[in-house]
Structure 1
C-alpha cells in the first residue's frame, strides 16, 4: 500500500492524482483503442507530454501551460 500523507481513509491526499486520472480516462482511454501495450504507452505519453504539458492551460498555473509556467519561473529566478 502506498504511503499516505494524512490519516487512513482521508481522500484528500490523493485528490489531485484522482482528478488527473479521471481526465486522462475521459479524454484518452475511453476514446482510444490500442492494439498493443506499446501503442497504449505511446498514446499516454503523447497525451501527457504533448497535450497536457504543452497545449492545455491550467487554472492553477494562472491559465498557462505547464511548459509556459516553467519557462516564466526560470526567467524570473535564473
Structure 2
C-alpha cells in the first residue's frame, strides 16, 4: 500500500476528503467505523445480492439516510439516533 500513499493523499486532497487513519499504537481509532460496517453488512447486505453497482449504492444510501441516521438507536449516543444527537449537541 505504501507505494500508492502519495497518489491516494493527492486524490483525497483534490476532493477535500479528510481521511481517517490509526495513530501508531492506537488499535481502537477505527472501532466506530468497523462497528458501522459490521452493522451495515448484518442489517442490509447479508444474504442480499445486487445486480449493479448503482443498485448497491441506492440501497446503501437509503439505509443510511432512511434508517441508520434517523431511526436506529445507537448505544454510543445514549440510545438516540445520530440526528437526535446532533440536534442536542
**Which range, TM-score by smaller chain?**
0.7 to 0.9
- Secondary structure of the residue that 1:23 maps to in structure 2? helix
TM-score normalised according to structure 1 size: 0.76
4+ long deviations beyond 4 Å: none
Given the alignment of the two structures, is residue 7 of structure 1 paired with residue 17 of structure 2, yes or no? no
Q: Which residue of structure 2 lines up, in the alignment, with residue 49 of structure 1? A: 65
Per-residue CA deviations over 1:41-69 (Å, capped at 9, x if unaligned) read 00000111111000001112221111112
Gaps of 5+ in 1: 74-78
Residues matched between the structures, number = 72
Gaps of 5+ in 2: 2-18
TM-score normalised according to structure 2 size: 0.68
